[in-house]
Every structure is written in structure tokens, then in C-alpha cells.
């Protein structure tokens, strides 16, 4: 059977009280629409049809070529929204899965279950997902008859007190026989609120003698719809639980899962331990047996095995194995720390390489620098890389010893095994194995191979 997926994303999200279209609000760092696109991708290799309307240009830009966008110029309800996909899909598929763009916790497995159940529903034109979720008070209620068959979905606003008391909710995910759907949509009535409700198809199918099948979800969190800021926070908490449970099952220790924030795009190796208030974001990958946190942000960075990062911020950085960082270090884009580097408190590194075993213990700024192996960077060392117009490079060769409070006025090269005295301001290149002191720094002698 050929399946197509339709994602409804035209609504404003009035209850969020925001200038941003609802589906662009972020959950665990990604816009809500990403989650729907991902679920759709798991059931159909063809790009889903996304119905856009409110903030259409911004939503289209976020979707790119991952969805075929169709415009719903006026938001006249969920049934009206699905009709906008007809021209794109009519005759192209036998079954249509419809999901809403504001249900980020819906699993791809649920879409598979809907498709499979509908394939077996020989007497009926649709299958819908339901969940036992008494707390979701603004959801449509699933009405069943004495035999347990689904008869209708009634929106909360239109429900009688008896219907409001029902606790089986309409999740907002459906699988339809395609031809039946296109014929049914124009028959739906206008609601008292002036909208065409997709949920009306259930009663329509029943009136036509068809059986409406239902897939009951075990996990009501999957049904969470984001209509309000409170529901956005709730969805964030549930997604966090899901992600954290996954990593713990993969052998990662989380000292306090409630204060560990791992975005869905992150990878973590086994035997890594994450301390509280740690945020792992974007395209970050953490090796095995690392200690990360507490109070650490790692964004778009690659961390090797057995690294230790405490109370620090890393963005766009790369660490080889056994690097130790912090507390209070800041790595910025282009920072690359080779095996065994130690970077202590109050250091900043950007666009620079620190070679294997190099130590930078305290209060230093390293920018646009290439630093070799086993270099000692004394407390307070600064690469003066910016001359007011452009950034200039600093090179420090293997085994050099930079004295405390040295200013390296770039462009400048410190030769292999060279040393600078405390407080030196280095404006000219230093030859290998030389000692320079003063302001501006002058070479005062050659050093032996042991650096003495």
C-alpha cells in the first residue's frame, strides 16, 4: 500500500500568545515541526505534505525540501486544512496518515501501528489513535457504544457533561482510506465556532456503516499537544525523561536526570557520567568514560574518551582523549585540544590547536594560535591576536615554556623549547631554545637541551 503523510501546521497557536508560529517554538532545542517531519520520515520515504498558513514563509523556510508545503490561506479548521493537501495527493496514494504539527512526542511506531490497523480494517475507512489521559482536558473525547465500538469524537467545547467526563482522548493521529477521505471532507458541517473539524469524520464514517478502528497508546505522554506554554514545558519534561531513559539504558550514568538536558541530536558513549545541571546540545558527541559537569554546557562539540569537563562552556570545540577542562573554562568555535591537554580555570580558547600534553592552568586567552606538544602556558598568558583590523596568528612550538603574564603580540612565533620570563611582552619571533625577558622582550641567552 502507498502511504502519504499530511502534517497540519497552519494554526497560529493563539493560546501561546506569541509572534512566532506555533510549530517553530522550540522543544529540546529544535522547532516542534522537526519532530513531526521525523515521525513522517519513518513511515514514508516520500516527503510529507505540510499544510502551512500562519507565518507560512518562516515555516516553509524551516521545512526546506523535507516537506511539500501547501498553503491554507485562512485557518478554517483541521478538516479544511487536510483538504488543502488533496490536489497534491489525489490518486497518488491509497492511504493517508494525518498528524498535527503540535504533537512532538508522537512515536513513529504509533504511525506504523495506525497504518497496520487500518490495513486490516476491511469494513471501515479510518483508524485513529486514542489515549487514556484524563488530564488532557481540552482534548476531543472518544465516544464508544455499549459494544465498545468508536461512535464519535466530540470536541471538549461541544461536549455534554457526560461526554466531558470521558477519559479516552483523541490523540490527533489518523490513518484514512485516501479516496474515502477526499469524498468525506466536503461533507463535514461547520462547527458553532466557525471551523470544519476533522474529528467529524468519525461520526460520518459510522453513519455510513463503516467501522472506525482505534489504536490505544500505552504512554499518554505521546498524546501531549502543545497549545500553551505550560504544555510546552510539560512536553519538554516528558521528552527529557524519554531521552535520559534512553542514555541510561545505553550505559550512561546521570547523577540527577531531572537536571540533565540532552538534546535529541546528541551522542554519548557508555560509562560516561553526567553531573547535574549539564546541557548537551546540537551536534555534540561525547566519548565513553568521560566525566561531564556539574554546571556545564557543551554545544556542537566533539569530545573524545576519558575526558573530564567541570563547570565549563564549550561551543564548536574538539577534544581528543583524556583532556581535562575547568572549572570555568570557555572553548569557542575552532578550539582543538589534543590528547592529554589540561586547561584549568578561567581560560578561553578559540580557533586554536593545543598539542598533546600541553598545559594551560590559569587565566589565559588563546586565539588564532597553533601550539605544539608539551607546551607550558603560564598563568595569565594572552595571545594579542587582534590589531584592530584583523586577527593575526601565533605559533608556539613543541616544549616551549611561556612565563606567567606573557603577552604574545601576533603575528609571532615562539621556537621549540624557547622560554619567556614573567611579564614578557613578545613582539618579535623567538628562536628555538632561547630565553627572552622584558618589555619588549629581548633574548638574553641560549638554553641547553634541558631548557636550563
Establish whether 362 is a catalytic residue: yes
Site for ligand UD1 in 317-376 (CB under 6 A): none
Residue ranges of alpha helices (H) inside 208-303 are: 229-249
Helix H or strand E segment including 351 = none
Q: Could you tell me which stretch among 9-17, 201-209, 343-351, 394-402 binds ligand UD1 (CB under 6 A)? A: 9-17
Q: Which does 369 bind (CB under 5 to 8 A by kind): ligand UD1, Ca ion, none?
A: none
Burial (0-12, 13-18, 19+ Cβ within 10 Å), 258: exposed
Q: Is 8 in the site for ligand UD1 (CB under 6 A)?
A: yes
The site partner of 77 among ligand UD1, Ca ion, none (C-beta below 5 to 8 Å per kind) is ligand UD1
**How many whole angstroms separate alpha carbon 244 and alpha carbon 225?**
21
Map grid coordinates 520520515 to a residue: 41
CA–CA separation, 34 vs 370, rounded Å?
39
Using rule CB under 6 A, residue 62 touches ligand UD1:
no
Residue 10 binds which entry of ligand UD1, Ca ion, none, CB below 5-8 Å type-dependent: ligand UD1
From residue 76, give the alpha-carbon distance in Å to each of 16, 54, 67, 316: 19, 12, 22, 44
By CB under 6 A, tell whether 220 contacts ligand UD1: no
For residue 10, the 8-state DSSP code is -
DSSP 287-312: -TT-EE-SSEEEES-EE-TT-EE-S-
Half-sphere exposure of 126 (CA within 13 A, CB side): 32
Q: How far apart are CA 275 and CA 291, in angstroms?
A: 8
Candidates 16, 153, 313, 426; binder of ligand UD1 (CB under 6 A) is: 153
Residue with the shortest CB distance to ligand UD1: 140
- Can residue 139 be called a binding residue for ligand UD1 (CB under 6 A)? yes
Which of 67, 69, 89, 102 lies at the binding interface for ligand UD1 (CB under 6 A)?
A: 102
In the complex with Ca ion, the residue whose CB is nearer, 13 or 399, is 13
Residue 52 beta carbon to ligand UD1: minimum distance, rounded to whole angstroms: 8
Q: Min. distance of Cβ 95 from ligand UD1 in angstroms? A: 19
- Which of 67/140 has CB closer to ligand UD1? 140
Mapping DSSP onto H, E and C, the string for 73-128 reads: CCCCCHHHHHHCCHHHHCCCCCEEEEEECCCCCCCHHHHHHHHHHHHHCCCCCEEE
95-103, 288-296, 343-351, 376-384 -> range binding ligand UD1 (CB under 6 A) = 95-103
Report the partner that residue 275 touches, choosing among ligand UD1, Ca ion, none (CB closer than 5 to 8 A by kind): none
What is the smallest separation between the CB atom of 220 and Ca ion, expressed in angstroms?
A: 15
Q: Is 221 in the site for ligand UD1 (CB under 6 A)?
A: no
Provide the greatest CA pair distance for the chain. 100
Find the binding residues for ligand UD1 in span 178-207 (CB under 6 A): 197-199
Q: Which does 199 bind (CB under 5 to 8 A by kind): Ca ion, ligand UD1, none?
A: ligand UD1
176 binds ligand UD1 (CB under 6 A): no
Catalytic residue among 25, 112, 342, 362: 362
Q: Which does 372 bind (CB under 5 to 8 A by kind): Ca ion, ligand UD1, none?
A: none
Question: What distances in angstroms separate CA 13 from CA 55, 90, 263, 324, one per listed residue?
Answer: 11, 29, 24, 45
Shortest Cβ 92–ligand UD1 spacing (Å): 20
CB-hemisphere CA count at 13 Å for 357? 8
Residues that bind Ca ion (CB under 5 A): 102, 225, 227
CA distances, 101 to each of 23, 30, 104 (Å): 6, 13, 7
62 vs 325 by CB, closer to ligand UD1: 62
The residues of the shown chain that bind ligand UD1, judged by CB under 6 A, are 8-11, 22, 51, 53, 72, 75-78, 80-81, 100-103, 139-140, 153, 155, 169-170, 172, 197-199, 225, 227
Catalytic residues: 362
Amino acid at each position: 500500500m502507498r502511504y502519504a503523510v499530511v502534517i497540519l501546521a497552519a494554526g497560529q497557536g493563539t493560546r501561546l500568545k506569541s509572534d512566532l508560529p506555533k510549530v517553530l517554538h522550540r522543544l529540546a532545542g529544535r522547532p516542534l515541526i522537526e519532530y513531526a517531519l521525523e515521525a513522517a520520515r519513518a513511515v514514508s520515504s516520500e516527503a510529507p505534505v505540510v499544510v502551512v498558513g500562519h507565518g507560512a514563509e518562516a515555516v516553509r523556510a524551516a521545512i526546506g525540501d523535507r516537506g511539500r508545503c501547501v498553503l491554507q490561506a485562512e485557518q478554517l479548521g483541521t478538516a479544511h486544512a487536510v483538504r488543502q493537501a488533496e490536489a497534491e495527493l489525489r490518486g497518488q496514494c491509497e492511504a493517508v496518515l494525518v498528524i498535527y504539527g503540535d504533537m512532538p512526542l508522537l512515536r513513529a511506531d504509533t504511525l506504523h501501528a495506525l497504518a497496520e490497523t487500518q490495513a486490516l480494517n476491511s469494513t471501515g475507512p479510518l483508524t485513529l489513535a486514542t489515549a487514556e489521559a484524563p488530564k488532557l482536558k481540552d482534548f476531543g473525547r472518544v465516544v464508544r457504544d455499549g459494544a465498545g465500538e468508536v461512535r464519535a469524537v466530540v470536541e471538549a467545547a461541544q461536549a455534554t457533561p457526560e461526554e466531558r467526563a470521558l477519559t479516552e482522548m483523541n490523540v490527533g493521529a489518523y490513518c484514512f482510506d485516501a479516496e474515502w477521505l477526499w469524498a468525506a471532507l466536503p461533507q463535514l458541517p461547520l462547527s458553532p465556532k466557525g471551523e470544519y473539524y476533522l474529528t467529524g469524520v468519525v461520526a460520518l464514517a459510522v453513519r455510513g456503516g463503516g467501522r472506525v478502528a482505534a489504536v490505544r497508546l500505552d504512554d499518554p505522554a505521546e498524546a501531549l499537544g502543545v497549545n500553551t506554554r505550560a504544555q510546552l514545558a510539560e512536553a519538554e519534561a516528558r521528552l527529557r525523561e524519554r531521552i535520559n531513559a534512553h542514555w541510561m539504558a545505553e550505559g550512561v550514568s546521570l547523577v540527577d536526570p531531572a537536571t540533565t538536558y540532552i538534546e535529541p541530536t546528541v551522542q554519548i558513549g557508555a560509562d560516561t557520567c553526567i553531573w547535574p545541571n549539564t546541557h548537551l546540545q546540537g551536534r555534540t558527541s561525547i566519548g565513553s568514560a568521560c566525566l561531564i559537569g556539574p554546571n556545564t554546557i557543551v554545544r556542537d562539540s566533539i569530545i573524545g574518551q576519558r575526558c573530564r569537563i567541570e563547570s565549563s562552556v564549550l561551543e564548536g570545540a574538539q577534544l581528543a582523549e583524556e583532556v581535562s577542562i575547568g572549572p570555568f573554562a570557555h572553548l569557542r568555535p575552532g578550539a582543538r585540544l589534543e590528547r592529554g591537554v589540561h586547561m584549568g580555570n578561567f581560560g578561553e580558547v578559540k580557533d586554536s590547536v593545543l598539542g598533546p600534553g600541553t598545559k594551560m592552568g590559569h587565566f589565559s586567552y588563546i586565539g588564532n594560535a597553533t601550539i605544539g606538544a608539551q607546551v607550558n602556558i603560564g598563568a595569565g598568558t594572552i595571545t594579542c591576536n587582534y590589531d584592530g583590523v584583523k586577527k593575526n596568528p601565533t605559533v608556539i612550538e613543541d616544549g616551549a615554556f611561556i612565563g606567567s603574564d606573557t603577552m604574545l603580540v601576533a603575528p609571532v612565533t615562539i621556537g621549540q623549547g624557547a622560554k619567556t620570563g614573567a611579564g614578557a611582552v613578545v613582539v618579535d619571533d623567538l628562536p628555538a631554545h632561547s630565553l627572552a625577558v622584558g618589555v619588549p622582550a629581548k633574548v638574553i641567552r641560549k638554553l641547553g637541551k634541558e631548557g636550563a
